[in-house]
Amino acid sequence: MSAVEEERAVCVGDRLGATDTYAAGEGVFVRDGFVIASVVGFQRLEAPPAAGEKPTIHVASRDTLPLVPKPGDIVTVKISRVAQTAAHALIMCVGRQALSTEFKGVIRQQDVRSTEIDRVVIYDCFRPGDIVRAEVVSLGDARSYYLSTAKNELGVVYARSATAGVAMVPTSWVTMQCPETQAVEKRKVAKLESLVTA
Amino acid sequence: MAAAALGKVVGPGDRVLDVPEQGTLRLSAGLTTHDGAVTSLKGGVLKSTRTGQLFLEGRQKRYIPAEGDVVVGVINDKHSENFTVDIGGPFNAVLPQLSFEGATRRNRPNLHPGDLVYARVVTAHRDTDPVLSCVDTAGRASGFGHLKEGMVLSCSSALARQLLGSPTAPVLEALGSGLQFELAVGLNGRVWLSAPTAATCVVVANAIAESEFRTPAQVRTMVARVLSRLG
């Protein structure tokens, strides 16, 4: 086998190295003891995480690793539609990285919070247009990922008021207030470190 | 001062009255506060409900659902847990299958797409589908539920409110003294009518449609003339 070269353009099906020398990263798969590219792109070698382990091969197009939400990721979503039993959202970022394509997610009534889950009123937690921090629970069904906001640090991070359309200020974990009209609206607010005082 | 302004006709954006220094003002449909005065959002007449809420009553064709309204709806779709009902508003409404008198998980209402129902609006928000119910708050049917046979007449929301008002609308009183019919008025501008003969149905429908802009005396004369011709 020829030695693996850095930044080489590879095609789907190209053999990149043997599994006893290299570990498989993103954009590759393992078959018959070889690491083989599964996407078209540039091959990149990552140094081994600890001494004595194998370096990892990744294949990525256009300088970024292909990013797809996985269960356990913290994602930033924008609520698109609110129904009686669920809130539908578009996943815009995974962690700190923005996605180039939007994925659909849904926050079901039982995943909004961890207490009294059968008495949740979705309209008092989310409204269309809110930016929400959520966690991916599972790959969900054919249409959307299943998301959850059932932790203190998950929930609405940015919302505009219904009447004035200005960004609201959180006043408690269940309410936000509009600075112009002083109207109070209910939301499931995220407990971000910047908001907790002392 | 709020009482003095009742009955005032305003256009959109007009100052209706100044917010008083003390006391509370409860504003409902079509009113908002701006720069220390109560301002109108649409054209209409300033009225007050029994409980003291101020609202603007205007004549509009498009129905916007509000909590507590009674509506005549058409079933569009049957899902596992609820029906989708067309009530003529911006969104189709949701009617849970258990919101009928005597309905249980085993004993579900036997309704199909195309059936008419008389229901009340339980929740109606700007951004979500309205939720309906065919039982009142105590759990009894109270006239809600499936409307069998009959016909539906379209009218404006103002006429529907007149027909539902108390004292009884003059056209209904006059017709009721001579004819036998059943009707259900929906605030979404739909009136369901049912009568033993088709001729009676048509007469009642025409009379109701004609009565919108007539005074009570004119309405009574018109109905008397129609009834006498019916023989």
Is residue B37 pLDDT above 90, yes or no?
A: no
Contact residues for B80 (Cβ-Cβ < 8 A; gap 6+): none
Digit-coded pLDDT (tens) for B88-137:
988 899 999 999 988 888 888 999 999 999 999 999 888 889 999 999 88
Q: Which of B84, B128, B133 to mutate to test the interface with A (most CBs of A within 10 A)?
A: B128
CB distance A123–B94 less than 8 Å?
no
Between A198 and A149, the more confident residue is: A149
Asked whether the ipTM of the predicted complex exceeds the cut of 0.85, the reply is no
Task: Confirm if B76 and B116 have CB atoms less than 8 A apart.
Answer: no
**pLDDT score at A6:** 59
Q: Answer yes or no: do A83 and A43 share one domain.
A: no
Residue B86: its pLDDT value, please? 95
pLDDT at A2: 40
Same domain, yes or no, for A82 and A112?
yes
Domain membership of residue A194 (yes or no) is no
A159 shares its domain with A95:
yes
Q: What pLDDT, on the 0 to 100 scale, is given for residue A3?
A: 44
pLDDT for res A133? 95
Residue A196, pLDDT score = 65
Residue of chain B whose Cα is closest to the Cα of A164: B34
B14 within 8 A of B34, measured Cβ to Cβ: no
Chain A's closest residue to B94, CA to CA, is: A84
The residue in chain A having the minimum alpha-carbon distance to the alpha carbon of residue B35 is: A181
The pLDDT assigned to A152 comes to: 92
Tell me what pLDDT residue A68 has.
87
pLDDT at position A1 is: 39
| Domain containing residue A47 | 8-60
Query: CB A74: neighbour CB atoms within 10 A?
Result: 16
Q: Give the CATH number of the domain where residue A140 resides.
A: 2.40.50.140
Counted domains in chain A: 2
Percent of all residues in chain B with a pLDDT value above 70, rounded to a whole number: 98
Could A84 and B94 be called an inter-chain contact, meaning their C-beta atoms sit closer than 8 Å? yes
Q: Which of B35, B127, B133 to mutate to test the interface with A (most CBs of A within 10 A)?
A: B127
How many contacts, defined by CB atoms under 8 Å, are there between A and B? 17
Cα B160 to Cα B208: distance, rounded to the nearest angstrom: 10
Question: Taking 60 as the threshold, does the pLDDT of residue A180 lie above it?
Answer: yes
Please report the pLDDT score of residue A60 as a whole number: 78
What single string gives the DSSP state of each residue in A2-16?
A: PPPPTT-EE-TT-EE
**Contact yes or no for A163 and B125 at CB 8 A:** no
CA distance B24 to chain A (A): 16
On whether both A77 and A171 belong to a single domain, the answer is yes
- Is B222 in a helix, a strand, or coil? helix
Whether A66 is in a domain gets the answer no
pLDDT for the residue B212: 87
Report whether pLDDT(A114) > 80. Answer: yes
* Contact between A123 and B127 using a beta-carbon 8 Å cutoff: yes
Closest-approach residue (CA) in chain B for A82: B128
pLDDT digits (tens, 9 = 90+) for B6-26: 888 888 888 888 877 777 777
Q: Choose among B158, B156, B88: nearest CA to B121.
A: B88
Residue B106 burial class via C-beta count within 10 angstroms: exposed 0-12, middle 13-18, buried 19 and up: exposed
Alpha-carbon distance of A32 to A163, in angstroms, equals: 62
Mean pLDDT of A16-44: 88
Over residues A139-153, the mean pLDDT reads 93
The model's pLDDT over B125-167, given as tens digits with 9 standing for 90+, comes to 888 899 999 998 888 888 899 999 999 999 888 888 888 877 7
- Whether the model pTM is above 0.90: no
Give tens-digit pLDDT for A60-84: 777 566 688 999 999 999 999 998 8
- Mean pLDDT estimate for chain B: 87
CA distances from B15 to A142, B4, B148 (A): 53, 14, 47
Q: What is the mean pLDDT of chain A?
A: 87
Measured CA distances, B141 to A186, B99, B133, B188 (Å): 33, 9, 10, 20
> Which residues of B are less than 8 Å from A159 in CB distance?
none
pLDDT value for A61: 73
**A-chain residues within 8 Å CB-CB of B123?**
123
Helices (H), ranges, A44-111: none
Residue A28's alpha-carbon distances to A46, A49, A138, B163, B205, in angstroms, are 13, 18, 23, 71, 72
Closest in B32, B128, B131 to A82, CB measured: B128
Co-location of A54 and A146 in the same domain: no
Q: Compare B76 and B42 and report the one with higher pLDDT.
A: B76
pLDDT at A59: 82
Q: Which residues in chain A are contacts of B129 at CB distance < 8 A?
A: 83-84
Pair (A147, A79) in one structural domain: yes
Domains and CATH numbers, chain B: 8-57 (2.40.50.100), 69-147 (2.40.50.140), 151-228 (3.30.1370.10)
Nearest CA in chain A to B33: A181
pLDDT for A145 beyond 90: yes
CB atoms within 10 A of CB A138: 12
Do A90 and A174 belong together in one domain? yes
Q: Which residues of B47-71 are buried (b: 16+ CB within 10 A; e: fewer)?
A: bbeeeeebbbebeeeebebeeebbb
Residue A173 lies in a domain: yes
Residues A50 and A138 in one domain: no
Using an 8 Å CB-CB cutoff, list chain B residues near A128.
127
Chain B interface, best mutation among A80, A84, A124, by max B CB count within 10 A: A84
Task: Report which residue type is found at A137.
Answer: V
Choose between A105 and B159: higher pLDDT: A105
CA-based nearest distance A152→chain B, Å: 26
Could you write out the DSSP letters of every residue in A178-189?
-TTT--EEE--B
